[in-house]
Every structure is written in structure tokens, then in C-alpha cells.
Amino acid sequence: MTRIRYKEGTLLKRGKKRKLYLVQWSEGDKRPSHKLGWCAEMSKSQAERAKRQFMEKINSRREVAGDSVTLESFFREHYWNEEAEEYGDELRTKRPSTQRDMKNAMRQVLLPRFGDR
């Protein structure tokens, strides 16, 4: 599970002739930004207040991790389908001896130990 982070954001002033306030925050490798308003129309304290209000919306979003997959279901989907008795997409390109060895290692060693996790 990922750690929940509180993003504070950075207040920036951009523009040459007509300056505006921006809030910028990080999301992974990206640095998205949002326009808060023109510098002529709001003071810095008003921009800070607008930044806090906007960042509350960003921080209220929760990212939920996807469903977890067990080793057994992953094996059945990608390596060996017991019902159809056919190899999955990961083993189709392997030599027959490799297919046999990987299937047996998974069924006899790994699945009994880690299958339901």
C-alpha cells in the first residue's frame, strides 16, 4: 500500500508584463500547475489562501491500489491453464523441456508454498 502524502504545493509568480499566481505540485515525475489569478487582482496573502483551498481538493483525492493477485491465479492466467490443459502466453515461445520444467517447478514447489498469498 502506498503512503498517503499531504501535498502543500508551491506558490509561483509567472509572466513578464502581466503577472499571475500559480500553484505547482508534484505527482510522480510530473509537476502540474493551476492558475490562481492575476497579481494585479489579488494580494499574496489572498493567493496563499487560494492555494491552500485548491490543494485541499488535490489532497482529498485518494488513490486506491488495485486488486491484489495471488501467485496461483497469476500462474493459471499466464503460464498453465489446468482446465484447458494448455500453456499460457509466457510459456508458448519456450522449448518443450523448459515448458515442462517451469510448469512442474511451479506446481510442485512454488504453489504449495506461496499459492494463496
Q: What is the pTM of this model?
A: 0.50
Per-residue b or e along 50-70, where b marks 16 or more CB atoms closer than 10 Å to that residue's CB = bbeebbeeeeeeeeeeeeeee
Q: What is the pLDDT along the chain (117 residues), one digit of tens a residue?
A: 555 567 889 999 999 999 999 999 988 788 999 999 999 999 999 999 999 999 998 888 766 666 677 888 888 887 777 777 777 777 778 888 988 898 888 889 888 888 676
* CA–CA gap between residue 106 and residue 24 (Å, rounded): 48
